[in-house]
Amino acid sequence: MISFKNRKIIDLTAELVSRVTRLDGSVEEGTKDVYDMPWIVEETVNERDNTIEHLVGSNRATIPEWPIGPLSGHMGTHIQLGVGHNDNWKDLPPGMLGIWDMPLPTYYGEAVICDLDHLKGKPILQEHLSNIREGDIVLMRSSHSGDDQPWIEGDTAYWLAEQKKIKMLGVGVPGISWETKTQVAEPENSPTHRAMTGNNIPIVYPLSNLYDIKRERVFFLSLPLNVERMEGTWVRAVAIEDCD
């Protein structure tokens, strides 16, 4: 049996407040995530037992700032892999897997905290990540935002994936600019996406409260929904830290 005695649980999940359209047509506004994406729900009545339930991303609840209406699994803190997400890109390797294909232990394990505050507006290079061990879950944080955020260089991303063989990449946002070259022509675009998903390494973000973690190493847990063909799913990400 797992014991949480002498351990601290730290919620790393970004907080969202849903925008609710009530049964009477009134609307209660919510908040958006760091990528300006809202969480949209609509009340409905379950005719089986007359309980009230919330439909996620219902068309009736569409708002002008989000004309698409429905939500995606990439809103708020989430995990993503390549199949169904970016496997339409050129020159990705064969053998990419979906979130649902990976064994459950993929999504939890020992994690290392990489403090990158000293890299204000600078690239994150291999030399800045000397505390990473092979097979680690890597959690990156800084206190910077906007153009002051350190960013992951393409060479660094491939080094993490192919040489350090990390288990998962997690980034605080704001704090880390983890993807670059998003508008560059394929196959030079989005090197971190390519390095991680091409090697079946999940990416989990945006993470919050990373500075509540005091130790360099923690146990990290971030389980995706078990829904086949859903290329990104919402998660509740937590760190479990040994206490003194």
Q: What number of helices (H) and strands (E) belong to the chain? A: 2, 15
CATH of region 78-242, choose from 3.50.30.50, 3.30.420.40, 3.40.50.620, 3.40.1190.20: 3.50.30.50
Q: CATH 3.50.30.50 occupies which residues in the chain?
A: 78-242
Burial of 194 (0-12, 13-18, 19+ CB in 10 A): buried
pLDDT tens for each residue of 105-162:
999 999 999 999 999 999 999 999 999 999 999 999 999 999 999 999 999 999 999 9
Compute the distance between CA of residue 100 and CA of residue 88 in angstroms, rounded to an integer: 18
pLDDT at residue number 62: 55
Q: How confident is the model at residue 206 (pLDDT cuts 50, 70, 90)?
A: very high
> For 75-90, what is the mean pLDDT?
94
The answer to whether residue 225 scores a pLDDT higher than 60 is yes
pLDDT tens for each residue of 41-78:
888 888 888 889 988 876 554 566 666 667 788 889 99
- What residues form DSSP beta bridges with 44? 53
Q: How confident is the model at residue 233 (pLDDT cuts 50, 70, 90)?
A: very high
pLDDT at residue number 3: 82
